Amino acid sequence: MPATIQVPVVSGPDVLIYNLPGINKLKLSAPTIAGIFLGNIKTWNDPKIASDNPGVALPATDISVSHRSDGSGTTFIFTNYLSSVSPEWQKGPGAGKTVDWPTGTGGKGNDEVAGLVKNTNGGIGYVELAYAIKGGLSYAQVKNASGEYVEATPQATAIAANSQLDALRKDVRAPIVNSPANGAYPICGFTYILVSKEPKDAAKIKALIDFLNWTMDEGQSMISDLKYAPLPKDVVAMNKAALGQVSSAK
């Protein structure tokens, strides 16, 4: 099998959507999120959730977890985050595009998970930011490693990506979850394209590389409108160097 290179093209956040009528600004810390998805926190008025949300009248409603049933990069980012903040999660389900979920109902794709949460009082799940906005769903502010509750935005995602440049210079596949930087949203990651180093069709690979170079230059200005974050300049430079290794691109 020909060798491939992995090229990040955008970074984006996973958000925790929830269905709690009357509660529009829920806050969640890492231990609370892990506890919910491990099935250890079962009702919305649990003391751990209350501690994250002082003064908020939380209902005694049962928590109904929704997660992806199919393999996905969204799950990979979210479970990498959980593994980075919870030793119990790391030793249990772990990180991957699919995992054995300790609790909850599976849905195929971001749309189905969003639908499950939207139609379930007390529901919670994770989706890409654009799907939460499209569905008109509330999503939580998440406490980052600096102790700030941060809303998912392209700007907060860009802070996370730029804070991990040392690791990315060593391996462009390095995770960018749980960044220690002020203002960083903690549950985010890159979307990648795989490119063969030894393509069979010179015309097609030239068109692909031309497109990728456009996305890393002019195309970056359009990314925020799609609720993704532009690539760090150092990552763009690494991408272009990597694409130069493709045989027919030389």
Using one digit for the tens of pLDDT, what is the confidence trace for 184-234? 999 999 999 999 888 888 899 899 999 999 999 999 989 988 999 999 999
How far is residue 208's CA from residue 246's CA, in Å, rounded to a whole number? 11
How far is Cα of residue 87 from the mean position of the Cα atoms in its chain? 19
Determine the pLDDT at residue 2.
Answer: 53
Determine the pLDDT at residue 1.
Answer: 44
113-121 mean pLDDT: 97
| Band (4; pLDDT cuts 50, 70, 90) | confident
**CB 216, CB 239: distance < 8 Å:** yes
Q: Residue 160: name the closest of 241, 231, 72, 85 by CA.
A: 231
Average pLDDT over the chain, rounded to whole? 94
Find where tokens 């600004």 sit.
25
How far is residue 80's CA from residue 97's CA, in Å, rounded to a whole number? 10
Contacts of 191 (CB under 8 A, 6+ apart): 8, 9, 10, 11, 12, 73, 228
Does residue 249 have a pLDDT over 60?
A: no
More confident of the two residues 121 and 221 = 121
Does residue 164 have a pLDDT over 60?
A: yes
CATH number of 13-150: 3.40.190.10
How far is residue 250's CA from residue 246's CA, in Å, rounded to a whole number? 7
| Band (248; pLDDT cuts 50, 70, 90) | low
Determine the pLDDT at residue 199.
Answer: 85
Determine the pLDDT at residue 166.
Answer: 96
pLDDT digits 0-9 by tens, 72-96: 999 999 999 999 999 999 999 999 9
How far is residue 18's CA from residue 26's CA, in Å, rounded to a whole number? 9
How far is residue 208's CA from residue 44's CA, in Å, rounded to a whole number? 48
Does residue 169 have a pLDDT over 60?
A: yes
**What is the helix (H) or strand (E) element at residue 157, kind and residue range?**
helix 154-163
From residue 40, give the alpha-carbon distance in Å to each of 19, 36, 133: 19, 6, 29
Domain segments of the chain as ranges? 13-150
